[in-house]
């Protein structure tokens, strides 16, 4: 690719008009690239796309070449007003991919939360060169990389559809952009995929130097520009892996507790699940009192995973119920690795094993689909109910935008759950609720009605 001349003024990227034509590079620089997979919605596929020089107009009127990609790919990846995303992370990935193609790194800027429920309602993504350097003294001198760039993408949450929508977008930059040969060095583009991480760990275990590991992965990827990370990132990954290995000392504390309980109480039950690497994933335990209480009061069971216990935010799952004094009793506790269907299947099977196979008549959970799938697989004959506390929490989360009207909605919603015995009365009350608050198109309300039998 021909080298561009050094501009007199800072570069300003101008959005290409609908009729613009890409300026082809010299024949010696034209080449096609091989198929390469992408984790960002398939937008990294550069197969059989000729390289072009996008028109970059400088502030002094001259034209420079910078980013190499086809017009089709640019249109496909350029944000536009009212573009929708399923989540805030999905919007970040899209804008990050757009930055990779254009040649700039991004970061998250400010966001606002709702005063009603604390839910994030908007977010601004900016170019990494946005703003100016803080001149306050620091322990280590850092190079000034900020140019007060104005490029950004602003998204807002649509409460009705629970989707994020682009409400403002500015693509003007005041600095030179990265070329395709250097975009892999931008901070937001440097990431090890799982297969690369495994290769690095195997290489370290066999004593292969870090430089050779990086060179090997570069050769396998077709060049350093396609690797997606730098050698320093390999060092960081290996350092983090060793740190995670040390954290298993927390499990050692649990083992000591289990050993002590087993000595003091022979009926103490505990077990754990290991993954293919023989690393601990899920842990369950129940003491003699828990097992006894379940035998007496276990006809109705409630299961909750809304607790987080440590800095890794692993779910602490608790099986609870009520005794004859209507006091809460605990039947079992689990420290889980994740909240997936396989983990819940293991946990429910383990719980039944600890309780000598006794199943409850009714099992209450929140609206988590993974729990529902696991419960149906392990206890298909048990009645599955939804906890009204979590239903009200979810209502606040999804319908908090009603503002002052939410209190009235909450009263009508609870009346539908507790105030009607006849199905016809419930149906009419629900129709009235949906109509009064204009919730016909609300996905959560529709899903909740479909689950009414629970």
Comparing 16-20, 179-183, 231-235, 436-440, the range with the smallest average pLDDT is: 16-20
DSSP for 337-358? S---HHHHHHHHHHHHHHTTT-
The confidence score (pLDDT) of residue 205 equals 63
Average pLDDT over residues 301-305: 89
The confidence score (pLDDT) of residue 62 equals 36
Give the CA dihedral 387, 393, 397, 398, nearest 10 degrees.
Answer: 40
For the cut 60, the answer to whether the pLDDT of residue 323 exceeds it is yes
40 with 94: CB under 8 angstroms?
yes
Q: Which of 105, 108, 101 is nearest to 78 (CA)?
A: 101
DSSP state of 16: P
Which tokens go with 202? 């195997």
Q: Which of 238, 164, 232 is nearest to 201 (CA)?
A: 238
For the cut 90, the answer to whether the pLDDT of residue 200 exceeds it is no
DSSP SS3 for 400:
helix
**Between residues 354 and 400, the one the model is more confident about:** 354
- Phi first, then psi, for residue 412 (nearest 5°) are -70, -35
HSE toward the beta carbon, residue 395, CA cutoff 13 A: 23
Task: List, in order, residues 6 or more apart from 65 with CB less than 8 Å away.
Answer: 1, 2, 4, 23, 25, 53, 54, 55, 56
Comparing 40-49, 161-170, 308-317, the range with the smallest average pLDDT is: 40-49
- Phi first, then psi, for residue 363 (nearest 5°) are -125, 115
Comparing 282-286, 331-335, 421-425, the range with the smallest average pLDDT is: 421-425
- Phi first, then psi, for residue 139 (nearest 5°) are -65, -30
- State the Cα–Cα distance between residues 110 and 156, nearest whole angstrom: 12
Average pLDDT over residues 284-288: 93
Residue 113: beta bridge partners?
120
The confidence score (pLDDT) of residue 103 equals 85
What confidence category does residue 155 fall into, taking pLDDT thresholds of 50, 70 and 90? Answer: very high
The confidence score (pLDDT) of residue 105 equals 87
DSSP SS3 for 75:
helix
Task: List, in order, residues 6 or more apart from 391 with CB less than 8 Å away.
Answer: 367, 417, 448
Radius of gyration of the chain (CA): 28
Comparing 52-61, 124-133, 213-222, the range with the smallest average pLDDT is: 52-61
For the cut 60, the answer to whether the pLDDT of residue 22 exceeds it is no
DSSP SS3 for 54:
strand
- State the Cα–Cα distance between residues 217 and 223, nearest whole angstrom: 9
The confidence score (pLDDT) of residue 421 equals 80
| % of the chain with per-residue pLDDT over 70 | 67
The confidence score (pLDDT) of residue 116 equals 85
- Phi first, then psi, for residue 19 (nearest 5°) are -100, 10
Which tokens go with 102? 């254009």
pTM: 0.45
- State the Cα–Cα distance between residues 276 and 77, nearest whole angstrom: 39
For the cut 90, the answer to whether the pLDDT of residue 124 exceeds it is yes
**Between residues 409 and 312, the one the model is more confident about:** 409
Which tokens go with 201? 């760990």
Q: Which of 69, 140, 136 is nearest to 103 (CA)?
A: 69
Average pLDDT over residues 205-233: 68
- State the Cα–Cα distance between residues 311 and 280, nearest whole angstrom: 17
**Between residues 362 and 37, the one the model is more confident about:** 362
Burial (Cβ within 10 Å: 0-12, 13-18, ≥19) of residue 319:
buried
């Amino acid at each position: 690719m021909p080298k561009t001349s050094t501009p007199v003024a800072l570069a300003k990227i101008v959005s290409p008009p609908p009729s613009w034509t890409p300026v082809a590079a010299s024949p010696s620089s034209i080449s096609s690239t091989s198929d390469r997979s992408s984790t960002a919605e398939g937008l990294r596929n550069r197969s059989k796309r000729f390289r072009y020089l996008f028109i970059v107009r400088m502030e002094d009127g001259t034209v420079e070449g910078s980013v190499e990609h086809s017009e089709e790919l640019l249109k496909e990846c350029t944000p536009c007003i009212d573009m929708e995303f399923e989540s805030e992370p999905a919007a970040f990935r899209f804008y990050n991919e757009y930055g990779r193609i254009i040649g700039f790194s991004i970061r998250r800027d400010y966001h606002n939360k709702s005063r009603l429920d604390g839910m994030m309602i908007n977010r601004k993504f900016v170019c990494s060169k946005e703003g100016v350097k803080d001149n306050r003294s620091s322990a280590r001198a850092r190079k000034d990389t900020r140019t007060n760039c104005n490029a950004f993408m602003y998204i807002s949450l649509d409460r009705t559809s629970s989707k994020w929508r682009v409400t403002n977008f500015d693509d003007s930059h005041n600095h030179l952009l990265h070329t395709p040969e250097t975009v892999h060095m931008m901070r937001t583009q440097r990431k090890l995929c799982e297969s690369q991480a495994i290769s690095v760990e195997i290489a370290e275990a066999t004593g292969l130097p870090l430089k050779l590991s990086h060179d090997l992965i570069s050769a396998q990827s077709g060049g350093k520009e396609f690797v997606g990370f730098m050698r320093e990132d390999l060092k960081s990954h290996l350092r983090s892996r060793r740190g995670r290995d040390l954290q298993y000392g927390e499990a050692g504390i649990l083992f000591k507790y289990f050993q002590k309980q087993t000595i003091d109480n022979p009926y103490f039950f505990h077990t754990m699940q290991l993954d293919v690497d023989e690393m601990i994933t899920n842990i369950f335990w129940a003491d003699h009192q828990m097992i006894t209480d379940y035998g007496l009061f276990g006809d109705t069971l409630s299961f909750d995973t809304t607790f987080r216990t440590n800095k890794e935010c692993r779910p602490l799952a608790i099986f609870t119920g009520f005794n004859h004094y209507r006091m809460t009793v605990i039947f079992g506790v689990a420290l889980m690795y994740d909240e997936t269907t396989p983990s819940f299947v293991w946990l429910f099977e383990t719980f039944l094993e600890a309780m000598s196979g006794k199943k409850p008549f009714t099992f209450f959970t929140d609206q988590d689909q993974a729990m529902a799938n696991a419960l149906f697989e392990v206890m298909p004959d048990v009645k599955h109910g939804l906890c009204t506390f979590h239903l009200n929490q979810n209502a606040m989360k999804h319908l908090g935008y009603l503002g002052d009207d939410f209190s009235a909605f909450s009263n009508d919603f609870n009346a539908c759950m507790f105030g009607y015995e006849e199905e016809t009365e419930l149906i009419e009350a629900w129709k009235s609720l949906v109509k009064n608050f204009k919730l016909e198109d609300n996905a959560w309300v529709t899903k909740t009605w479909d689950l009414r039998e629970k």
